[in-house]
């Protein structure tokens, strides 16, 4: 699951490249990226990855892009690295439950 932060550090500062999905390719495995906020897209991606893994006896990496609305842990204060209004904006525009 890729929520854009590695605890309090943006993933853009944690690694270079196009997300985690390319790591799978670098290790010689098939990989795909899916909107982790879309339950139907996740179900389809998992089904396809499972079918491919079973047919080819090979691993498949799935990167699920999502959003962490709250702090990473009880010792994390996410308002230090994003505005206090950002989670509300996500909720209003993209919350998968609504």
Residue 68 catalytic?
yes
Catalytic hit among 52, 71, 72, 82: 72
Catalytic hit among 15, 47, 81, 91: 81
Catalytic hit among 68, 69, 71, 85: 68
Residue 23 catalytic?
no
Q: How far apart are CA 42 and CA 50, in angstroms?
A: 12
Of 72, 94, 87, 89, give the one whose Cα is nearest residue 8.
72
Residue 72 catalytic?
yes
Q: Phi and psi for 9 in degrees, rounded to 5? A: -105, 130
Catalytic site residues?
68, 72, 81
């Amino acid at each position: 699951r890729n929520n854009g932060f590695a605890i309090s550090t943006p993933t853009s500062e944690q690694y270079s490249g196009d997300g985690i999905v390319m790591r799978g390719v670098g290790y010689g495995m098939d990989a795909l990226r899916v909107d982790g906020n879309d339950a139907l897209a996740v179900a389809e991606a998992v089904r396809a990855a499972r079918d491919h893994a079973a047919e080819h006896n090979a691993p498949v990496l799935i990167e699920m892009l999502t959003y962490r609305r709250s702090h990473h842990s009880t010792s994390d204060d996410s308002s230090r690295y994003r505005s206090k209004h950002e989670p509300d904006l996500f909720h209003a525009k993209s919350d998968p439950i609504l």
